[in-house]
Structure 1
Amino acid sequence: MRALVQRVTRAHVDIDGETVSSIDKGFVILLGVGHDDGEEQADKLWAKISKMRIFEDENGKTNIGLADVGGDVLVVSQFTLYADCKRGNRPSFTNAGAPDEANRLYEYFVGLVREDVEHVGTGSFGADMKVELVNDGPFTIWLDTDTL
């Protein structure tokens, strides 16, 4: 499972010109599910993200976590995180999970987030989405459960 985590001041997802989710200060998590992933990887990934201390404390040091700032989370499915660009110029996505299982694990991951975070927004799995965000810092972190 892969995640691109961005610390944001605000973000929203639009589908067909309509805003379906929005958050204030917190994380945007672009989530990719691989074909070998399961609930264990989702548990491991959320455990890592939920404890990351990447918000600034009173001294300007990145030393406090999402819960400490009462942050929101926006989770967006992103199978393109499994793009393989080794050959040619057109990415292959054969390492991405099958849609039904990937959607199930995406929903499972969102459920984990909702257990810990009061305000959680989502995109719509498989939809053509427009994601707009203000990256704070900018601060962006790449996580892969194969290397955690």
Structure 2
Amino acid sequence: MTDSRAAKSMPVQILLVEDNPGDVRLTKEAFKQGRIENELHVVSDGAEALEYLYQRSEYADAPRPDLILLDLNLPRTDGTEVLEELKNDAELHSIPVIVLTSSRAEEDIATSYELHANAYLTKPVDPDEFIETVRTFEKFWFSVVRLPSERDQ
């Protein structure tokens, strides 16, 4: 593996921003069965995601994520707003953001890429297909892609 964290046997820090408990459970299951050591942190809405990323309140000691999985359809602050704020922040803009959502709308896809999402994945309805999508994503992002180390960010 070429990722500097993996070379040091440090777990990859993943922030999952997802309000659907079933999708959280499936994502955890897929990562648990995967080969990459990771720590999956979960927040359930966009406002909580921003609190986590800016290390405010209960997230004061939260680790900086190496990667963010972001749903678009979120309560309070939607995923598009989170993505826009994140990519406009000088400290956080380099964190890769993968939109993982049920929306197949062309407008959502175009907007996500305009806001500099690194990828857009549509959640399959079938639970087995959902787990396979997350596993494929994990293999690509943590075995093929080189993520920036903390000192590079």
Normalising by the smaller structure, the TM-score range is: 0.3 to 0.5
Which has the higher relative contact order, 1 or 2, with Cα contacts under 8 A spaced 6 or more apart? 1
Higher helix share: 2
Q: TM-score, normalised by structure 2?
A: 0.32
Query: Which has the greater radius of gyration?
Result: 1
